[in-house]
Copies of this chain bind each other. A is one copy, B any other.
Amino acid sequence: MTNRQIVLEQLPQGKLSPDHFRLAQAAIPAPGEGEVLVRTRYISLDAANRAWMQGATYRAALAAGDVMAGGSLAEVMESKTPGLAKGDLVFADTGWQDYAVLPGKSLAKLPDLAPITHLLSVYGVAGLTAYFGLLECGQPKAGETVVVSAAAGSVGSLVGQIAKIRGCKVVGIAGGAAKSAWLKDELGFDEAVDYKAGDVRRALRAACPNGIDVYFDNVGGEIFEAALFNMNNFGRIACCGAVSQYDGAAPPHGPRGVPGLIVTKRLNVRGFIVSDFDEQREGALSDLKSWVESGKLKVLEDVIDGLENAPSALVGLLAGENRGKRMVKVS
C-alpha cells in the first residue's frame, strides 16, 4: 500500500487547469509521539484552494511541488496522542492525499453523524461560514432584504436559506437560468439574478425594490460593485471571499464606489473567516442541526468520486459547475 498524492506541479499564471497537477506516490508516513496517522475520507473543495495559489492569505502561499493543500474529513488509523483513537473522525489539514501524519493537538474528534458528509457541508466550514457571516457580520433583521452571490454554492445556498428562516426577503445571484430557477423553486429564494444574463446592477435594482440591507459577498469584482450601488443606508456587507478574482491574474483595480458610497450610505463592510468565531461554534451547530432536522434547511452536496478527480473537480467548482457543497470521496 502506498500513499497517493496530488502534487501542485506548477503554479497557475492564469486559469487553473488539471494540467497544473500530477499524481504521485509516496510511502505511508508513520506517526511520532503526539501525532496521529489519518486516512482521508472526503476532501473539501473550496474556492479558497485557488486563492492559496495566489499568495499568502490566512495561510502561507502554496509553492510548486507541494502536495495540494486542502481540508478533509479523515479517519484516525493510528494514534500516539491522548484523546484520539483509531476510527475517530476528524477534520484535518491533510492535503490531497490518502494518508497524512498530523499533530494530535490540532485535531478534535467529530461527532459520528449520518451522513458523515454533513460534517463537511452544513456542520463544517461551509455551514459555519454561512451562519456566522450572515448572522454576525450581516446582522439581518426580519423584513430586510438580503442578497447573496454564488448563491448556488456551498455557502450561498445556506446563507439564503438561513436568511429566509430569519424572516428576510432573499435574492440570490448565480450563473445561468437553470440555477436561478432552482434557487427559487428548490431553495425558496424570493428572487434570483442570473449574472450571465446582463446588467447585474439593474437586475438587482429590479429584484430589490426596497434596496439591499445585507449583502453576503462571495465573489468580489463587478458583482460586489453592483450590490454596493444598490445598498441601503446603514447596510452591511459581509465579505466572505472573492472567487471572481481567484482564478486568473490579480485584478487591475477594485470596485467603483469604494470608499465614496461606503461613506454616504454609512455602510459596514466586514471581512471574516470562519475560525474567527470558534468560541460561538457550539451554539451555531445547535441551530444548524435543529433547522436541518426540522426540514427548514436543505443540505445540498455534490460528491465527486476518486482522489484522482480532485483537480478537475476543483477546476469545475471555479467555473461554477456545482450546486451546494462539492467534495471528493477518497475512501
**Which residues of A come within 8 Å of B, CB atoms?**
57-58, 217, 220, 224-225, 237, 239-242, 245, 250-273, 276
With A256-B253, A257-B254 in contact, is A271–B276 under 8 Å at CB? Answer: no
If A58-B264, A253-B254 are given as contacts, then 14 extra A-B residue pairs at C-beta distance below 8 Å, sorted by A number, are A57-B264, A217-B259, A220-B258, A220-B259, A239-B263, A242-B259, A253-B256, A254-B255, A254-B258, A264-B271, A266-B271, A266-B272, A267-B269, A268-B269
A254 touches B251 (CB 8 A): no
A304 to B271 Cα, complex, angstroms: 43
Output the least CB separation between A216 and chain B (Å).
11
Q: For A224, what are the chain B residues with a Cβ–Cβ distance below 8 Å?
A: 258-259
Selected A-B contacts with CB under 8 Å, 12 pairs: A224-B258, A224-B259, A239-B259, A240-B263, A242-B260, A254-B255, A254-B259, A255-B259, A262-B270, A263-B271, A263-B273, A268-B270
Select the residue from A253, A260, A264 with max chain B CB neighbours within 10 A.
Answer: A260
Task: With A266-B273, A267-B271 as known contacts, state yes or no: A258 contacts B260, CB within 8 Å.
Answer: no
Question: What separation, in Å, do the CA atoms of A256 and B262 have in the docked complex?
Answer: 16
Chain B residue nearest in CB terms to A219 = B259
**Contact residues in B for A269 (Cβ distance below 8 Å):** 259, 262, 267-270
Whether B254 pairs with A239 at a CB distance below 8 angstroms is no
B259 touches A251 (CB 8 A): no
Interface centre among A57, A261, A266 (most CB of B within 10 A): A266
Partner of A271 from the list B225, B252, B253, B262 (CB cut-off 8 Å) is B262
Q: How far is the CB of A130 from chain B (nearest CB, A)?
A: 15
Distance in angstroms between the alpha carbons of A28 and B79 in the assembled complex: 89
Are A271 and B259 in touch, CB under 8 angstroms? yes
Whole-angstrom distance between the Cβ of A53 and the nearest chain B Cβ: 14
Residues of the B chain whose Cβ atoms lie less than 8 Å from the Cβ of A258: 220, 224, 254-255, 258
Bound form: Cα–Cα A215–B269 in Å: 14
Residues on B with beta carbons closer than 8 Å to the beta carbon of A254: 225, 253-259
Chain B residues within 8 Å of A259, by CB = 217, 220, 224, 237, 239, 242, 254-255, 269, 271
Contacts of A217 in B (CB 8 A): 259
Contact A256 B260 (CB under 8 A): no
On whether the beta carbons of A267 and B264 are closer than 8 Å, the reply is no
CB neighbours (8 Å) of A239 from chain B are 259, 262-263
Inter-chain contacts of A256 with B (CB < 8 A): 250-254
A241 to B, closest residue via Cβ:
B263
Docked CA distance A264–B55 (Å): 11
Q: Which residue of B lies closest to A272 (CB)?
A: B266
Residue among A58, A263, A268, A269 with the most chain B CB within 10 A?
Answer: A263
Cα(A262)–Cα(B242), bound, Å = 10
Enumerate the 4 nearest inter-chain pairs by beta-carbon distance, A residue then B residue, closest first: A253-B253, A262-B271, A254-B254, A254-B258
- Nearest B residue to A255 by beta-carbon distance? B254
* Residues of B contacting A245 in the complex (Cβ-Cβ under 8 angstroms): 260
Q: Which of A225, A245, A269 has the most CB of B within 10 A?
A: A269
Q: Which residue of B lies closest to A250 (CB)?
A: B256
Q: B residues within 8 A CB of A265? A: 271
